């Protein structure tokens, strides 16, 4: 079916911490999507939290950036910022408000009641209540947020098939599957940055993630350290890109447990261009998470033809069909064996795996395709002025 497209739309993105993305998969997704929508002629506003973005300039890469205050605590940061951003967007008379995440979606009812002309979209990025940093009260609120993202927006977007099925089975909502998308680009001139961290091209294993327990950095660090104690992978380093997010004690324990091994490098949070460049030059990207929506860092590694090793959770299994790359989540011994196996592969096998990964990105996860899908959803809502509850493709 051919749909009429609204030529220029005023779009507000709410829920992310801000741009430029210093860390966080949602933040990277929003930045890339917003830049891509601007390149198509749309007027995009991205709301950020003053403590995260710290930008004074009103525009970034063509995106209107509005940084607002929040109560910067673990439990109040998101909800207070989203409240202010929602009212700012309403009075800015945008056409579409797009909420990212189940927590922010708790307030997506406000424009539905106060400004019914505005179309509301919510993206279900992950089941956040499974994250180990949250206590019981926060888990209850995030469960309500799951209901909210499936109930209040005109359209619910799920970034994985697993989450699409979850929306239907748990809340009876027919979400639209639109995965995260990444750009296909290369990072050739990275020698200076590699020297900065004391690493060499294709001589390091990398993990890019917030350092929170369910991401499994401690599992990877222990597996790598065990291999080196056995005299294996001695020519490799482990580079862990990321930092604490209300998990300072966890990060401190992780650093203390690995302090004896100088081949384990912690970079802290890095800007998107630097972390992507490190991904582009790694031997392999490892993602040992026990819970995901659709991990941006894995997609970024695949986009630049790098091999990946992944925990065997549903979000990872739907991305790649090659059984050789998977290990049991939260299992140090199995990850240790998987890395040892990978080291034994020939250079041709590793190259072929990377090329296959890049082909998967081109077919299913390219930013251009994802932007086109989301643009179509916005436009169909504005032209038809009704809910969309079925696949657009």
Same domain for 195 and 316, yes or no, is yes
Quote the pTM value.
0.86
Same domain for 156 and 88, yes or no, is yes
CA-to-CA separations, 365 to 6, 47, 183, 351, 386, in angstroms, rounded: 24, 25, 9, 20, 27
Same domain for 62 and 83, yes or no, is yes
Q: What is the DSSP code (8-state) at residue 256?
A: H
CATH number at residue 165: 3.40.50.2000
Same domain for 110 and 198, yes or no, is no
Rg of the chain over Cα atoms, rounded to whole angstroms, equals: 21
Same domain for 196 and 139, yes or no, is no
Domain range enclosing 74: 10-181+366-384
Mind listing the pLDDT tens digit for each residue in 133-183?
667 777 888 889 999 999 999 999 999 999 999 999 999 999 999 999 988
Q: 37 lies in a domain?
A: yes
Q: What is the DSSP code (8-state) at residue 325?
A: G
- SS3 state of residue 213: helix
Same domain for 226 and 174, yes or no, is no
The stretches in the chain having pLDDT less than 70 are 1-6, 54-56, 128-134, 184-189, 385-393
- Joined together, the tokens standing for residue 65 give 């950036």
Mind listing the pLDDT tens digit for each residue in 257-306?
999 999 999 999 888 888 888 999 999 999 999 988 788 899 999 999 99
What does the alpha-carbon distance between residue 377 and residue 7 come to, in Å, rounded to a whole number?
A: 13
Same domain for 297 and 375, yes or no, is no
- Joined together, the tokens standing for residue 329 give 């989540």
Same domain for 167 and 157, yes or no, is yes
What does the alpha-carbon distance between residue 379 and residue 388 come to, in Å, rounded to a whole number?
A: 11
């Amino acid at each position: 079916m051919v749909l009429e497209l609204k030529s220029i739309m005023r779009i507000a993105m709410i829920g992310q911490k801000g741009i430029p993305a210093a860390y966080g998969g949602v933040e990277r997704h929003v930045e890339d999507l917003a830049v891509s929508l601007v390149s198509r002629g749309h007027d995009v506003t991205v709301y950020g939290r003053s403590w995260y973005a710290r930008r004074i300039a009103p525009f970034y890469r063509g995106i209107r950036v509005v940084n607002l205050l929040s109560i910067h605590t673990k439990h109040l940061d998101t909800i207070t910022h989203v409240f202010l951003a929602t009212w700012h967007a309403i009075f800015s008379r945008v056409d579409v408000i797009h909420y990212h995440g189940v927590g922010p979606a708790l307030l997506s009812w406000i424009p539905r009641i106060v400004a019914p002309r505005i179309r509301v979209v919510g993206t279900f990025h992950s089941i956040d209540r499974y994250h180990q940093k949250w206590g019981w009260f926060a888990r209850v609120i995030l469960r309500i947020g799951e209901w909210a993202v499936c109930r209040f927006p005109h359209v619910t977007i799920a970034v994985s098939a697993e989450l699409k099925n979850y929306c239907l089975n748990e809340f009876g909502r027919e979400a639209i599957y639109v995965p995260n998308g990444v750009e296909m680009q290369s990072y050739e001139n990275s020698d200076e940055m590699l020297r900065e961290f004391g690493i060499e091209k294709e001589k390091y294993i990398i993990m890019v993630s917030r350092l929170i327990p369910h991401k499994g950095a401690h599992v990877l660090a222990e597996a790598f350290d065990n291999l080196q104690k056995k005299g294996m992978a001695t020519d490799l380093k482990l580079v862990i890109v990321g930092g604490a997010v209300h998990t300072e004690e966890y990060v401190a324990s992780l650093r203390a447990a690995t302090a004896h091994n100088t081949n384990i490098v912690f970079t802290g949070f890095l800007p998107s261009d630097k972390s992507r460049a490190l991904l582009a030059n790694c031997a392999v990207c490892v993602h040992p998470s026990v819970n995901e929506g659709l991990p941006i860092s894995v997609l970024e590694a695949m986009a630049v033809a790098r091999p990946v090793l992944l925990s065997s959770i549903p979000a990872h299994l739907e991305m790649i069909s090659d059984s050789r790359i998977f290990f049991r989540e939260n299992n140090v011994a199995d990850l240790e064996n998987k890395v040892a196996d990978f080291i034994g592969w020939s250079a041709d096998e590793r190259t072929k795996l990377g090329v296959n990964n890049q082909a998967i990105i081109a077919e299913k996860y390219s930013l251009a395709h994802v932007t086109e899908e989301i643009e179509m959803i916005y436009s169909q809502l504005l032209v038809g002025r009704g809910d969309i509850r079925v696949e657009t493709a």
